[in-house]
Structures are given as C-alpha cells and as structure tokens.
Amino acid sequence: METNSNLVAIESDPDEKYAKELEVAVKAVHVACLLCQKVQEKLIFNGDGDVQAKNDNSPVTIADWSVQATVSWILSQAFGSENVSIIAEEDTESLSKPTAANLLSSVVTTVNDSLSTAATFGLQPPPTPLKPAQVLEFISRCNSTGGPTGRFWVLDPVDGTLGFVRGDQYAIALALIENGQVVLGVLGCPNYPVNKEWLNYQNGYRRMLSRLSKTGLESWDGKGCVLYAKKGSKKAWMQPLVSGDKSFVWPNSARPINVSTIDNPVLATFCEPVEKANSSHSFTQGLAHSVGLRNQPLRVYSMVKYAAIARGDAEIFMKFARAGYKEKIWDHAAGVVIIEEAGGVVTDAGGRRLDFSKGMYLQGLDRGIIACAGASLHEKIMRAVDASWNSSSL
C-alpha cells in the first residue's frame, strides 16, 4: 500500500536534527490515540474495561499498558531496540501475576489490534501478532532511570487515567530528552477537538459523548488532536486526529499553533488540576483574586492543560502541590517544550526552568509550576506567589 509518510509540519531536509525522531514520535502517538479512543468507548458505553489500582491507589487500565507496549514497539522498530531507552509510568508486576491472565490477554489483543493499523501511518506492522511474552517485554523495556547525560524517551501512556475512566480529558505524552534537555515533545489529546468550546464540558464529556452517539460519533469530524514541537524551532504544530479510515490521506491538515496574546489577567483563563490532591485550589483561588483573574478556573485532567495554553485557548496553568509531593518528568516534559516553542513560558514559581536531568522526578522545584502565554503575564503571577506564599498552608 502506498502511504504518504511526510509530515506537513516537519522540514523536508532529511539531515535536519531530530526530524526522524519527531516524525516517528508523532506517528506513534497518533496510533496510541486511536487505541485509547476505542478502549474508552468500550469502557464508557459498554462497561467493558478492567480498571486496576496501583500501589498508590491511582488507577491503571488496559489502555495504559497497551499504549506503553505499542509505543515501545514502534520506537524499537524505528531506531533499534539497542538504541532506545525509555522512562515510562507503568510496569508489569500486576500484569504478570497468574491471576491476571485474562487482563494480559486483553492487553495483548489491544496491542495487536493497534499495531495492525500501523501501515496507515507509514509504519511497518509486526510480521506476526505479538505474543504475551513479547508484549510484557516491550512494557518492561521502559525501565530507564534518566539522568543528565545520554538520550532517552519519556512516556506517559495515559496521562490523566482518572479522567480517562470517567469519560473526560486525558493525554498521551511522549518526549525525547538528550543530555538533560527536552528536545522534542508530542501530546496526543483524543478528546480535545479543534473546536475549543468542547473543552468547557468539564467533567461532562461522558454526557457529551452520549448526546453525540444519538446521531453517530462519525458526525463529529473534529474529535481529537496531536500537538508537537521541536526545541529551538520556534514553531509548534497541531494535527487533527484522523481515523483509521483509509479514505483519509495522512497527514491531515497540520497547522501552526501559538499561545494567546492576552496579557491582561482580567481577560485571562487559567487552568489547574481537577483533583485537589494534586494542587491547592484554595491557594490558586487566592492568587487568581490577587492578580485580577475573573474567569472561572478551567479544571482539566492531564497535560491537556498544557495543550490549551499552547493552542491559545487558555493563558495560565498553575500547580502548587502539597509539601513532599514529587513531580514526575513524564507529567510535564512534552507539554513544556510545546508551550515554549508556541511562544509561552514555563518555570517553577521562582522563575527557574524545569530541570529534567535529575532522573524520574523534577528535583528542586521552587514551590510550584507556572505556565503562561507570555512573559508579562508570567511575571505578574510570580509576583503574586511571592506576596501570598507566607500566608499559605503549603
């Protein structure tokens, strides 16, 4: 089958640094998005989905393991397994238990179904379906510990799993880090269409899907997007999510994105995590009032918050976790580089850039994380943090 594998947004020069890595990453995330859409629809409409609890009581689903295996396989095929090092969120401990045979079988089926669509995106599918041992191996290969030297990928297979199981926003996040610097990032947002108004269905995506199902999901042709950027390019791009329908010529209408030009807090929209355990809503509410933010906060699961700022749908993201909480690099790497290349600013609350060179966690964060559409807005938020911090309980 003849395929069009040239991404609209990637330069045609084959010698351009990270061009192949970016192209493969975008394709891998696109495949993963379609996988997640199918799993979520079964989970929401049919109740057909196994949700497990990890040691920290956070949820993990068939989609988490399946995406990790799928992306790991695609990267290994593209660059050679000996050249691919990956940090990712999931392991195979619970999936390898004798009592998890049915769960593992579902993951294997999902992975093989997903990889069977690879040719649609110019990727070579496996010559034969992967066996359970192979799927476990590709998940287990994602065991890098990162650090300040060398090259490794960072994957969050389903960022915002709680949003995923509730029928709301979630993301697939993939980034490449080289010598401690994020050099490219890809964010797949299967429930975040080009039309930004849909994002306002906060915690109501299930209801919106139900409404659409009455007329057919195919009638909604703007469902989902993939955002990507390469460090230093001063460009970020958005690709509408295409289906597996072979009538589509892929890629489909990638276009540049930029952060909002709004720098007046009165007009700005700010995002924060849905769960109070991940960020202090009371502190951000106080900050919002002190700088004049009048719009209600947009509480969104996952790195879709980063996507909203990069696309110009929101201007501020603030996260102030409780003392002792460790931020994982897979929750931020892809989103940070996309916002920065779209013209935005991301730092900790002390104005320092996030450090991805210390392993699996962001070490030395000053209080919290602030992402803004521009430097002026960013400075106003940081001043408000300085003025309010001593009275906080964080």
Four-CA torsion 163, 356, 89, 126, nearest 10 degrees: 110
Q: Distance between CA atoms of 271 and 255, rounded to whole angstroms?
A: 24
86-88, strands of its sheet edge to edge = 86-88, 151-159, 171-178, 181-189, 225-230, 236-240, 255-257
Closest CA to 321 of 283, 280, 362: 280
SS3 at position 284: helix
Catalytic residue among 61, 92, 110, 161: 161
Active site residue 161: yes
Contacts of 372 (CB under 8 A, 6+ apart): 309, 315, 316, 317, 344, 345, 346, 378, 381
Residue 369 phi/psi, 5° resolution? -120, 135
Using the structure block, give the residue that is written with the tokens 């918050």.
Answer: 305
Q: Distance between CA atoms of 43 and 244, rounded to whole angstroms?
A: 20
Using the structure block, give the residue that is written with the tokens 């355990």.
Answer: 277
Cis peptide before 251 (omega within 30 of 0): yes
Active site residue 366: no
Catalytic residue among 61, 64, 120, 156: 64
Active site residues: 64, 161
